[in-house]
Amino acid sequence: MLPVKRVDHISMAAADWRAQSAKLERLLGFKFLHNWEGSEAAPFEGCVSQVRGTGIEFEIISPWSGKGFVQQYLDQQGPGLHHITVEVDDIHAAAAELERLGIKPFGGIQDDGMWHLTYIHPKDSGGILWQLFVAHRQPPEADRNAGGGIAGLKRVDHVSLAVPDLDKQVEWQARVFGMTEISRWRDDDLQYEGVVMSIPGSLLEFEIIAPTTPASFVQKFIETRRPGMHHICCEVESVDATAAALQAEGIEPFGGIVGDESWHRHTFIHPKDSGGVLFQLFEE
């Protein structure tokens, strides 16, 4: 099992990180922290933003000079969630543990000048590119007073992964990352099932969803894209206020408002309105 210290950030790919950063700050309060420039050796650029209430950051990566792996990703899948980054105590020990678990560290161990890092490829993880790192030094202090945006975001609750085999993925997350199961459900109306798991050292939780019939929206997602990150779920102050604020911005809450006293009331921001990510917004 990998000794995970914490989840550092969730990353998305977008054509223009500047426009996407401004959009997410306006919608969800993701507060810009810093950016970096691309180069011939590393043909991508981007920025990092703080997220309220969950102890994680959100990264946006964009192609540099129209080439490189980010451009390839956008050409193949369009803008969307790209990877999750976790901090470990020792990158060499983490790589050795991956080998022991039968997983080849993708790209070997690298040094980008700020981090020692390696990866778990999506074909090995069931759909997510996991980035593992150890920082050379602590980052400088920054103003981390992120807001909630027009949606009134309080925190990010979980990131969701769509896969064809629920139990297989639950076993993988427990064996590799030491995640533990919190809850499990089955929805016969929407024809899918799911599990929520805790992530060691993180307030962020991890959801896995799988289809129960070929007609499920999860099956359609897998067939259209591939197994991978499906959405990010965020708690807001009030779903009604969020929906009204979105409509004032010309954004129609996707799916309307659903839920009752037996289930969290929630709505969605469609990827076409968010810049590439499906955001689920709920109230406790």
Q: In angstroms, rounded to a whole number, what is the distance separating the alpha carbons of residues 199 and 14?
A: 27
Q: What is the pLDDT of residues 78-126, one digit of tens each?
A: 999 999 999 999 999 999 999 999 999 999 999 988 899 999 999 999 9
Q: What is the pLDDT of residues 112-123, one digit of tens each?
A: 888 999 999 999
pLDDT of residue 261: 64
Q: In angstroms, rounded to a whole number, what is the distance separating the alpha carbons of residues 75 and 114?
A: 28
Residue 31, amino acid: K
pLDDT of residue 85: 98
What is the CA 191 to chain-centroid distance, rounded?
Answer: 23
Domains and CATH numbers, the chain: 4-135 (3.10.180.10), 153-282 (3.10.180.10)
pLDDT of residue 262: 61
pLDDT of residue 143: 74
Which positions ≥6 away from 32 have C-beta within 8 Å? 21, 25, 47, 49
**What percentage of residues in the chain have a pLDDT greater than 70?**
99
Residues of the chain with pLDDT under 70: 261-262
| Cα dihedral sign, 2-157-20-128 | positive
Q: Of 83, 93, 84, which is closest to residue 2 (Cα–Cα)?
A: 93
Q: What is the pLDDT of residues 206-221, one digit of tens each?
A: 999 999 999 999 999 9
pLDDT of residue 141: 74
pLDDT of residue 232: 98
